[in-house]
Amino acid sequence: MNLKSKLPSVGTTIFTVMSKLAADVGAINLSQGFPDFDCDPALVDAVTRHMREGRNQYAPMQGVPALRQAIADKFAALYGAPYDPETEVTVTSGGTEAIFDAVAAVVHPGDEVIVFEPCYDSYVPAIEVSGGTAIVVSLRYPDYAVPWAEVRAAVTPRTRMIMLNSPHNPAAVILGADDIAELTRLVEGTGITILSDEVYEHIIFDGARHESMARSEALRARSFIVGSFGKTYHVTGWKVGYVVAPAALTTEFRKVHQFVTFSTNTPIQHALAEFLSEKRGYPELSAFYQRKRDLFLTLLAGSRWKPLPSRGTYFQLLDYSAITNERDMDFALRLTKEHGVASIPTSAFLYRQPPPPVLRFCFAKRDETLEVAADRIRRL
Ligand SMILES: Cc1ncc(COP(=O)(O)O)c(C=O)c1O
């Protein structure tokens, strides 16, 4: 059969490639973004209890009411944003599903979507499956700041959406108040929607404030805001996330969501509703990960690895230009095979610009894991 691929340039994701290689050669896996420690046992107990109590059938399409209420309450408390849990909050099977559904809900063939490289690898395929065109604007090493003049130049009458991510994977930068002001001016008077990927909203360092789109009435009126409980509760394998958006956007979003997954795992939603409504876990998450970031940096201090500032997420970019002039992919493979530490080359997140000499390391790991990993690479 002569099948014409809708995603001809997509192969196996770099995360799968590096995690498999790490397993094959017995390397420490600092590549894929997941903790090597367990979640709060009380969360597992809560899921088990809900299963035993028989909450094992389809959840409502839009999500369990108690969880939607807890999400709305969190947005009101943290960002002063009044989302209606009935019409403006939807629970999804991970942030990835939320991103895909939001793009599919509003992007028509021929539409343009502005994305910033480096970017999470699901963005561009989601746009292309919907027949849209990704207009890539480069965030450049080493500061990865948003070049607003270039963004303005990239806007056309066909621009349907701008996709943003803060705290940012893989660059670990965050949007500031100036960025929000620029964005507000840029979209004012246009029909451009915003997809704001805020899955790392609770992992932000050095006392910085998370600039959620929800804080601004003008921006939240046109935004899908995506969250993920995988990041917040150390349960990336459970794949539960959400999207908040104004009712008109949510109506279109749910039309897609109900035919992609229909609904999300029921007992887990009930357990997360308990944790979230009791404000468990997320208030102390930034301090928890900041300590791990600082430990990792202390362990590498004095080495030829040069850290770039990590202002949020659980990723650290390390500049290796003082060690080798290899391309990032080649060096990442060699580092895994010869030195037993797997990382992610940032070229995996790039579309236009040549890869800079940096690798992404995930520090969502036990202290012992970080100690052994740092010991293996610090003398390079
Ligand atoms: C920037 C970003 N967005 C979205 C996701 C997907 O989240 P989930 O695992 O909930 O699908 C990830 C996961 O790594 C991510 O890093």
Q: Specify the pLDDT at position 111.
A: 98
Q: How far is CA 160 from CA 113, 122, 206, 254, in A?
A: 6, 18, 35, 19
Amino acid identity of residue 19, one-letter, is: S
Which residues touch 295 (CB under 8 Å, ≥6 apart)?
Answer: 363, 367, 370
Residue of the CA atom closest to atom 7 of ligand 1 = 95
The C-alpha atoms of residue 317 and residue 11 are separated, in whole angstroms, by 24
Residue of the CA atom closest to atom 2 of ligand 1 = 120
Amino acid identity of residue 52, one-letter, is: R
Q: Specify the pLDDT at position 326.
A: 97
Q: Where are the alpha helices (DSSP H) in the chain?
A: 14-25, 41-52, 65-79, 94-106, 123-129, 148-154, 177-187, 217-220, 229-232, 247-260, 266-277, 285-300, 328-339, 367-377
Q: With CA atoms as reference, report the closest residue to 242 among 34, 123, 78, 69.
A: 69
- Best residue among 96, 243, 269, 313 to mutate for probing ligand 1's pocket (most ligand atoms within 8 Å of CB) is 96
pLDDT tens-place values along the chain, 380 residues long:
889 999 988 888 888 889 999 999 999 999 999 999 999 999 999 999 999 999 999 999 999 999 999 999 999 999 999 999 999 999 999 999 999 999 999 999 999 999 999 999 999 999 999 999 999 999 999 999 999 999 999 999 999 999 999 999 999 999 999 999 999 999 999 999 999 999 999 999 999 999 999 999 999 999 999 999 999 999 999 999 999 999 999 999 999 999 999 999 999 999 999 999 999 999 999 999 999 999 999 999 999 999 999 999 999 999 999 999 999 999 999 999 999 999 999 999 999 999 999 999 999 999 999 999 999 999 99
Question: With a threshold of 0.85, does the pTM exceed it?
Answer: yes
Q: Is 120 in the pocket of ligand 1 (CB under 6 A)?
A: yes
Q: Specify the pLDDT at position 336.
A: 97
Contact 369, 36 (CB under 8 A): yes
